[in-house]
C-alpha cells in the first residue's frame, strides 16, 4: 500500500501531537503542561511564579508583587482586605505569553527582571497595633535580601496590593531605611494628610491616629517623606472646616496638589509635565494609587467613593508619562470588590499594577548613586527627631 512507503518521521512531523505517546509527553513536561490559559491555573498575579517570600529569605528576585489584605483602619466602608485576591483574579488575562505593553514598547514579564508573586502578608484583622507591627516586620523581611540583577546589594522592589491606604506607612518606614526620604506621587481623591484630631470624635488614643486618612501625616511626623517634592493628583474631596485649613496643613507636609478639575482643564500631558517638574529625577520615587482616584463609573468598588474623577485610560497615560522616574516601590490600594457588581475596579487595579511594574522594568535597576545623593541631602536637613538621623546614618 502507498501509505506504507511513507516513513514514520514524515508522518510524525505533521501529526506528532495527535499521535504522541505518553513517553513523548514525559520528555516534554514543561512544553506539554507548563502553560496556562487565562482561565486555568492557580491564581497568582499575572500567572507569575509564586513563592511565599516571607518564609524563605534565600529567594532572590527583582520585582515582587505582595498583597497586604488589611482594612481595619478605614473610616467608612470596609472590605479592602479582599483587594489582593480580587486583583489577582482580575489579572489572569495578563501573562508572559501575552504581556507586550504596546504603550511602553516592552514585555515586562519577559525582560531582564525576575518578577515573582510573593503572596500575602498574614496581617491580623483583630488589633491594629499588632497589625502595624506585623506589616513593619513583613516589609523589613522583604527588603532584607538582594535583588537578582543588582550589582550593589540593593533589595528587590515591590508592587503592593492593598488593603486600605494605611498600609503605605509600614512600607515607607522600611523603604526609608534603604533609600532615605521618599518623594511620593499620590493618586487619590483625598489628601490623606489629615491630622488624627481632625476626625469628629471626642475619643482618641495613640492607636486611633493610624488610619487610612492620616498615614501621610504620620509619615511626615516620622520624617519619611521628601521635604517638598511630593504630589497629590486627582483631588476632589470636600474639605473640613470653613476654609483652606486642610490645604494649609497639607502644605506643611511637603505636598503639591493637583485637583481632578485641573486634569480635566489642562489635560493629562500638562499634568504629567507638572508632576515631572515637581519630582526630582535623581531621587527615590514611590507611586501610590488609591483606586478611588478614578471616577466611580470606572471604579465603584472602593470604600470612600467620590464622584467626578478621571478615567482609567487617563490614569494609565499619566503613569506611562512617569516612566523615567526611579521608582523604588508602588502600590494600588482601597480595592473593595464587594461594592462592585462587575469586577471593573479590580480589573482597573490589575492594569495599573501592570503599568507600574512596566515602569520599574523599563527604567532598569536603581542606580545606587541616587540613594547616596538622597541620603547626603537628607543628612543636611536637621531633623527634629534624632532617631531618624540615626537610622539614616546606620543604613
**Radius of gyration (Cα) for the chain, nearest Å?**
23
Q: Does position 186 bind Mn ion by CB under 5 A? A: no
Q: How far is the CB of 159 from Mn ion (least distance, A)?
A: 17
Is 192 annotated as belonging to a binding site? yes
Collapsing DSSP to helix, strand or coil, 37 comes out as coil
Q: Which stretch binds Mn ion (CB under 5 A): 112-120, 151-159, 285-293, 348-356?
A: 285-293
Q: Does position 331 bind Mn ion by CB under 5 A? A: no
Furthest C-alpha separation in the chain: 96
CB closer to Mn ion out of 188 and 340: 188
The cell numbers describing 270, all together, are 500638562
CB closer to Mn ion out of 188 and 314: 188
- What is the bridge-based pairing of β-strands 115-120 and 157-162? unpaired
CB neighbours (10 Å) of residue 109? 23
Q: Which stretch binds Mn ion (CB under 5 A): 52-60, 189-197, 230-238, 344-352?
A: 189-197
CB closer to Mn ion out of 120 and 188: 188
Is 290 annotated as belonging to a binding site? yes
**Half-sphere exposure in the Cβ direction for 220 (13 Å, CA):** 20
Collapsing DSSP to helix, strand or coil, 328 comes out as strand
Q: Please return the burial class of 374, using the count of CB atoms within 10 Å of its CB with bins 0-12, 13-18 and 19+.
A: buried
Q: How far is the CB of 216 from Mn ion (least distance, A)?
A: 9
The only residue of 62, 117, 120, 192 in contact with Mn ion, by rule CB under 5 A: 192
Facing residues of 66 across strands? 160
Q: How far is the CB of 192 from Mn ion (least distance, A)?
A: 5
Is 363 annotated as belonging to a binding site? no
Whether the bond between 134 and the residue before it is cis, its omega within 30 degrees of 0, is: no
The only residue of 88, 145, 157, 165 in contact with Mn ion, by rule CB under 5 A: 165
Instruction: State CA 98 to chain mean position distance.
Output: 21
Q: How far is the CB of 256 from Mn ion (least distance, A)?
A: 17
Positions touching Mn ion (CB under 5 A) are 165, 188, 192, 290
List binding-site positions.
165, 188, 190, 192, 290, 292
Amino acid at each position: 500500500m502507498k501509505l506504507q512507503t511513507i516513513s514514520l518521521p514524515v508522518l510524525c512531523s505533521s501529526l506528532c501531537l495527535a499521535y504522541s505517546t505518553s513517553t513523548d509527553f514525559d520528555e516534554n513536561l514543561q512544553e506539554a503542561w507548563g502553560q496556562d490559559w487565562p482561565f486555568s491555573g492557580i491564581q497568582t498575579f499575572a500567572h507569575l511564579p509564586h513563592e511565599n517570600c516571607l518564609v524563605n529569605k534565600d529567594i532572590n528576585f527583582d520585582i515582587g508583587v505582595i498583597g497586604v489584605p488589611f482594612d481595619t483602619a478605614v473610616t467608612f466602608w470596609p472590605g479592602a482586605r479582599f483587594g489582593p485576591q480580587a486583583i489577582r483574579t482580575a489579572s489572569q488575562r495578563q501573562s508572559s505569553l501575552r504581556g507586550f505593553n504596546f504603550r511602553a514598547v516592552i514585555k515586562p514579564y519577559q525582560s531582564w527582571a525576575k518578577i515573582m508573586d510573593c503572596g500575602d502578608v498574614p496581617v491580623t484583622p483583630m488589633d491594629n497595633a499588632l497589625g502595624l507591627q506585623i506589616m513593619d516586620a513583613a516589609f523589613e523581611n522583604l527588603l532584607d535580601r538582594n535583588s537578582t540583577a543588582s550589582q550593589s546589594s540593593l533589595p528587590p522592589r515591590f508592587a503592593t496590593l492593598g488593603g486600605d491606604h494605611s498600609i503605605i506607612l509600614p512600607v515607607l518606614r522600611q523603604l526609608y531605611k534603604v533609600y532615605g526620604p521618599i518623594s511620593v506621587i499620590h493618586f487619590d481623591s483625598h489628601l490623606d494628610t489629615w491630622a488624627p484630631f481632625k476626625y469628629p470624635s471626642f475619643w482618641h488614643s495613640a492607636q486611633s491616629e493610624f488610619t487610612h486618612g492620616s498615614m501621610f501625616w504620620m509619615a511626615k511626623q516620622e520624617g519619611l517623606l521628601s521635604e517638598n517634592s511630593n504630589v497629590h493628583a486627582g483631588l476632589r474631596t470636600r474639605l473640613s472646616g470653613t476654609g483652606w485649613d486642610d490645604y494649609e496643613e497639607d502644605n506643611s507636609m511637603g505636598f503639591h496638589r493637583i485637583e481632578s478639575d485641573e486634569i480635566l482643564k489642562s489635560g493629562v500631558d500638562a499634568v504629567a509635565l507638572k508632576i515631572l517638574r515637581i519630582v526630582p529625577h535623581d531621587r527615590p520615587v514611590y507611586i501610590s494609587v488609591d483606586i478611588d482616584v478614578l471616577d466611580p463609573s470606572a471604579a465603584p468598588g472602593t470604600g470612600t467613593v467620590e464622584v467626578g474623577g478621571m478615567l482609567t485610560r487617563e490614569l494609565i497615560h499619566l503613569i506611562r508619562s512617569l516612566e523615567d522616574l526611579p521608582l523604588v516601590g508602588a502600590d494600588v490600594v482601597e480595592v473593595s470588590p464587594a461594592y462592585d457588581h462587575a469586577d471593573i475596579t479590580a480589573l482597573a487595579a490589575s492594569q495599573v499594577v501592570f503599568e507600574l511594574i512596566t515602569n520599574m522594568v523599563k527604567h532598569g535597576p536603581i542606580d545606587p548613586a541616587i540613594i547616596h545623593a538622597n541620603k547626603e541631602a537628607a543628612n543636611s536637613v536637621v531633623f527634629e527627631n534624632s532617631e531618624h538621623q540615626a537610622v539614616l546614618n546606620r543604613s
